[in-house]
Amino acid sequence: MVHRSLPIANPTLSKLITELGSECENVTALIYQLQSPHLSERQQAEILAELLAATIHLNVHCDEEFQTLIAQEMETLPDDDEPD
């Protein structure tokens, strides 16, 4: 995957968004693995354990502080309804 810079002024928010993208890719890969028709019970358990850890990480990652940083970034954007 090609990583491009984000048009985000706040470097902390930019890093958090990049990390969020990586974790979402991880979750997607785990879901695809679970869809394999030839998983042993052990493999399924390992994938589910990794998925559990990833979802806990996402839950912690997307906390109120992260949401506040996003809202603050949105406030810095120009209002499209204002005339140029």
Domain boundaries, the chain: 41-73
The phi, psi pair for 11, rounded to 5°, reads: -65, -30
The string of DSSP letters for 5-60 reads ----S-HHHHHHHHHHHHHHHHHHHHHHHHT-TT--HHHHHHHHHHHHHHHHHHHH
Checking if the pLDDT of 81 tops 90, the result is no
pLDDT of 6 reads 86
pTM of the predicted model, to two decimals?
Answer: 0.78
Which tens digits make up the pLDDT trace of 47-58? Answer: 999 999 999 999
